[in-house]
Amino acid sequence: MCYSTALRKEREKIEKELRNQIAVKFDASSTYKPYYHLNGFTHGNLQIIKMDEPDTIYDASWGIIPDWALHDPEAFRKKSNTLNARSESIFNKASFRNSAEDKRCLILADGFYEPHHENGKAIPYFCYQPSNENPEGDVFLFAGLYNNIDEQTLSATILTTDADDFFMEVHNKGKRMPLVLDPHYFEDWLDRGLSIPEVNELMAIGMTTKPFSAHAVSSDLYKRNIDTNQPYIIEPVQKDTLF
């Protein structure tokens, strides 16, 4: 599962960093500002790249609203959690099936948070992809699905998959991880011509091979009435628990 993300870079930095992988610009109407912690249950905006406009970054409310619930999105969200979609079953679930066929997207992040369990307690871990150019973490792209709520508003969900060896240690209870695509597959994921078997195959082979790092962060992440969209929330709190 992936219910909390970060995207800490300015627009220009994001566009420049992605330029050699996928040429994109932020839509003029985007309200994006860098953030250290976005809690999915607030249904704030993720930044996505859609199948039908692969050169533009749009805002999308986190938690996809399927066509049959568009008449009352808030009522749907009170009953259903669509922040994530299990990649193995997107063509079998009514909430995701139509989007899986023709409304796939890429979702931007440069970090996300997963719970690590020790002695019956959940400890939040910040996960990111460091590089020589960006030791604090590169921008990466989740495989996602989206849908239109109305002419101006989009909604989206992040796909998840079985944890690899690294995330088996981090997310050691749920043993899941978000599906972070390798840049080689960005264009393929947005290809409208893919068949259902081809989409399933892409989800099975498309995971990034670039290594992640992770460290424990403040338990404030799980507390209410605390503004955790602050720089301190990504800082390590237990250096001996670094992965």
Q: Which domains does the chain have, with CATH numbers?
A: 4-241 (3.90.1680.10)
Encoded amino acid at 54, one letter: P
pLDDT at 89: 96
109 neighbors 142 (Cβ within 8 angstroms): yes
Angle, vertex CA 151, rays to CA 147 and CA 154, nearest 5: 35
**Residue segments in the chain with a per-residue pLDDT below the cut of 70:** 239-243
Q: Residue 225 — left, alpha, or beta (φ > 0 → left; ψ -120 to 50 → alpha)? A: left
CA distance 67 to 76: 11
32 CB-side CA count, 13 A: 26
Give residue 241's pLDDT: 52
pLDDT number for residue 242: 55
So what's the pLDDT on residue 243? Answer: 58
- Which pLDDT value is given to residue 230? 97
Are the C-beta atoms of residues 38 and 1 closer than 8 Å to each other? Answer: no
Question: What's the distance, CA 110 to chain centroid?
Answer: 9
Give the global pTM. Answer: 0.96
